[in-house]
Structure 1
């Protein structure tokens, strides 16, 4: 019995040393609790949008870097639906232990509180905000049957044909939806909104001619504009993006037009402070690494770290900024 206890003791000691060495090699101090070093098993990351879109690609890049830094796998689980609200409801209901996190952001946490008459969660109080992850403009593209070559020509064309054309989005409450509603409001045009369960199926219907235009995240749009399958007309940021410098900002035609997607690493409410600190540090190392920043930029996204407090404050300010725009557009989901 004594020999057995000694063996167990040596194994425990060796395991503890190995865990500490791993954390030291990775350059981030270990968080040790009664359950061991965090994370000491795989982390589930809920992406509340379907596979195949920009959020999926960027999320997988981010999670791959976190896997490298933490020594544990970060597994992306796609839970699309209702503009990101389905996935966020699942996240809200998860145990606050740091092993289920997800992709929050402008759609579910700044647009939905005003757009939806009812939500299954409180966007402010039911979550823990760890860090921003990226910001990304959208792109307005049209199918080749639309004769317009510029935003101004598109507006003139739509005004001559009120109610005859449609635009698709990744779902009610997404920035793709809000981009379209802001465009309708500022341009004074009548176009029908067709929501999808993600940007990828919306793009497929655009290519098939079932809808006529779409506001898409730039990575998804580029995959179709580069081979000439659809026509890009403008980006939704205040200024042109260096990824597609020849595509003008919509604001050049409609001054003040500005909608950018932003995302956050988010957990359920009441994550322990030590877990938040560990996640914040891992996120900072990931988002400030040159290789991840370059991969993000290739997809027109800007890696953006912020502290938990600043992330929560930014969410609050964005909800306040966007609420009047949503109300003025008349968009509402009952």
Structure 2
């Protein structure tokens, strides 16, 4: 009686040891699962990107070259990944509004966007203050494209080559004008670099966008213009303006018959470049995945043809190279911006 009652009220040391061992085994299994699960979560943050739709912020208005080029890239990325890349236009303040939206978004890889020379290399010197730090507030996942500018002159100007234009400008200092889409743009800075390297005094006439400047160029109200290659190249092929040179270091594949300014002015190189931008703090594995998928998109034959039809050259870089390039461009352009007087307080 007593022994059966004792068995019901308690357990033998052997039984207690067995239960304790089972608890230890279960605890160890749970710990092992947690240890194996944590790296799996980290891997998932990078290796399966994207596993849902991605928002792509374009800091410029719809309908322009950057919008078209962005949508072409997003469409190709959607084809490659099977996920939607949705373009959202957030324009304002020369691209700074959209850049700030990218910088302040959640660093989960599902809000990315367009970075480039305007917000990441020109803005730090052009603007007295910025709501973001181009060097610290972004993850740059590689280059996207480069777009050279084109120097074109009005048909009434008696200059058919760059040396003839330089000679004319030196003979009439301060009399020849060049238009651009606005102060502080790569178009304005192309003219400022031309003045510096050629030793001339072209007068800058800023416009609110390229379209009104093109109209005045065709009409002869300004003598020349630096513009992104697509629009002005079309005017030149229609016989409405005369193209003299592109601003990239090499000739453009889009118009190989047009020389580069560097052929006459060594060291001349101003292009509109862009990069894949995201907020700071993305996991390295995810950045590597973005870079690899973007490379596939940029190296596809269809995208290359579409970009070149618009005057742009696909421009893939490593993540390390785009960081170095951005810093070098900021340092190179800063003295030119200050000298041009294009400062926004």
TM-score, length basis structure 2: 0.77
Find 1:167's aligned residue among 162, 178, 188: 178
Matched, 1:42 2:53: yes
- Paired with 2:177 and 2:89, the residues of 1 have a C-alpha distance of 27
Q: Answer whether contact 2:251 2:260 (CA < 8 A) is retained.
A: yes
Higher normalized helix content (fraction of residues): 2
Structure 2 residue 123 is matched with structure 1 residue 107: no
Residue 89 of structure 1: which of 92, 100, 103 is its match? 100
Alignment partner, residue 307 of structure 1? 318
User: Is 2:344 the counterpart of 1:333?
Assistant: yes
| More off after superposition, 292-301 vs 177-186 | 292-301
In structure 1, stretches of 5+ residues that fail to align are 1-30
Instruction: Please list every run of at least 4 consecutive aligned residues from structure 1 whose deviation after the TM superposition is greater than 6 angstroms.
Output: none
2:266 is aligned with 1:260? no
Task: Report the counterpart of residue 230 of structure 1 in structure 2.
Answer: 241
Partner SS, residue 104 of structure 1:
strand
Change beyond 3 A, Cα 1:66–1:232: same
The offset of 1:233, in angstroms, is 1.0
Matched, 1:182 2:188: no
Counterpart CA distance in 1 for 2:85 and 2:216 is 32
* Rounded Cα–Cα distance in structure 2 between residues aligned with 1:94 and 1:194: 37
RMSD of aligned Cα (Å): 2.9
Structure showing greater radius of gyration is 2
TM-score normalised by structure 1 residue count:
0.79
Cα 1:285/1:114, change in 2 over 3 Å = same
CA contact (8 A) 1:53 1:220 kept: no
CA drift at 1:200: 4.5
Q: CA deviation at 1:81?
A: 3.8
Query: Against the structure 1 CA distance between its residues 250 and 306, is the aligned structure 2 distance closer, same or farther, given a 3 Å change threshold?
Result: closer
Rounded to whole Å, the distance in 2 between the matches of 1:171 and 1:220 is 16
Between Structure 1 and Structure 2, how many residues are aligned? 304
Shift of 1:234: 0.7
In the alignment, structure 2 segments of 5+ residues that lack a partner are 1-41
Match of 1:8 in 2: none
Q: Tell me which of 289, 300, 303 is aligned to 2:300.
A: 289
Q: Deviations over 1:89-131 (max 9, x none)?
A: 2322323232322211122212222233322221111111011
State the match for 2:16 in structure 1: none
